[in-house]
Amino acid sequence: MTSAAGDQTFLLPDLGEGLTEAEVVHWLVAEGDIVTVDQTVVEVETAKSVVEVPTPYAGRVLTLHAAEGETVDVGKPLITVAAGARTDPAPEPAGGREAQAYREEEQAGSGNVLIGYGTAAHGGAVRRRRPRTTERVVSAPATRGPVRVISPMVRKMARDHGVDLHRVEPTGYRGIVTKADVERAIAGAPPAAPPPVAEAAPVAGERRIPLSGFRKTVAAALSRSRSEIPEATVWVDVDATALWNLRESARTATDAGPGLLAYIARFVVAGLKEHPVLNARLDTERDEIVEYDAIDLGLAVQGERGLVVPAVIGADTMTTAELDRAIRHVTARARVGKATAEELAAGTFTLNNYGGFRVDGSAAIINHPQVAILGFGRIIDRPWVVDGQIVPRKITQMSFVFDHRVCDGGTAAGFMRSVADAIENPASAIARL
């Protein structure tokens, strides 16, 4: 439909990490409702999480441009607010000139990141948020017109390579400069027309299910990991009887105590401190291994919409009890799609408890750009030789997948034995931590 002069249409912004689309999960307003600046109007699914999106405009909702379950491309209309329907004066944006400059760019069609964050409080359904840190937006001279750039990553790429965005020919929706446009400018190649999309002919006896935005993100991440990382896998069976007994002895009638995963996480953190090359990423452009000072422990979680890997941020500073609380908090929210963007992007190493699926082993895929992932299978009673006698023990299989570019088998084995020895002798290991 055509909006009246002055009506304001909010385009779906890039919610981070080069997003190209998002699925509308749930509208929180309806056409005809009155909204205020910074009011959350819709929940969308993208990059493995459900994100709340606030409106930068105040007034009466004229049009919701997508139904629940529909996918919206970045830069396309999300909601239109009718002009002249504001019920109170618009608030002064927080953040001073930087915030105002950002709003001007959004109104010009950019949609860099979500706007309205951190504005003055309102009544009703408005949610208070801390201001997001964004790049300063520098307005172009009026004679050259505004540059429409959605992704901060695209803007940074152009800056790093000395590309003048005003000279880049955009191919995105409504003249938006895309990552591909900047890459072509860097290479000096002309813009390519998008290829036509052919409809697949239906075949008797088969059913086609379009990939959701979530599954596309997962597919891209896993494909990149497998294509770029020369991974190697090693594994060992571990006697977890002593750890099992320690966990049981810590339980009381009123306090269940830390879970097994919290103890294992503590031992993993200790192992990473001994082998920091595994808590790292590989900078292929500069041929450097980048080790992290902090350990943000990623946890593979099977959520409602698929596998996500939120991180316990600052795991290296926590006790076993603190790790237990943090793990339960992070995984509970991740299972219902409420992990934050920070948690989903922060992981420096991943711990995978696939034993919860009642399987013993797995050759996992490394969570790029990390360089390793450690997994544990189910703990079951097995015959085990102790002091020359065959006795039942609680055994788990530990598998470790690592990027062979950053270390060799000796380092990987050293890390594994550090964790395995701590599991088999937990009391002495904790005493040393």
| All domains of the chain in start order, with CATH | 8-139 (2.40.50.100), 220-432 (3.30.559.10)
pLDDT at 206: 87
Instruction: Give the residue with greater pLDDT, 154 vs 283.
Output: 283
Within 8 A by CB and 6+ apart from 204, the residues are none
How many Å apart are CA 162 and CA 33, to the nearest integer?
46
Residue 74 zone, left/alpha/beta (φ > 0; ψ -120 to 50; rest): beta
pLDDT range class, residue 226, cuts 50, 70, 90: confident
Crossing angle of the two packed helices 179-187 and 152-160, in degrees rounded to 10: 10
pLDDT at 63: 94
pLDDT range class, residue 160, cuts 50, 70, 90: confident
pLDDT at 101: 42
pLDDT at 113: 34
How many Å apart are CA 383 and CA 285, to the nearest integer?
50
How many Å apart are CA 190 and CA 177, to the nearest integer?
14
Cα Dmax for the chain = 87
In the predicted model, what is the mean pLDDT of residues 362-372? 92
In the predicted model, what is the mean pLDDT of residues 163-175? 73
How many Å apart are CA 144 and CA 162, to the nearest integer?
18
Which residues belong to the active site? 404
Long-range Cβ contact pairs of 300-303 (< 8 A, separation 24 or more): 300/350, 300/351, 300/352, 300/353, 300/354, 300/364, 300/373, 300/375, 301/330, 301/331, 301/334, 301/335, 301/339, 302/335, 302/356, 302/357, 303/48, 303/334, 303/335, 303/336, 303/337, 303/339
How many Å apart are CA 420 and CA 430, to the nearest integer?
13
Q: What is the pTM of this model?
A: 0.61
* pLDDT single digits (tens) 281-315: 999 889 999 999 999 999 999 887 788 899 999 99
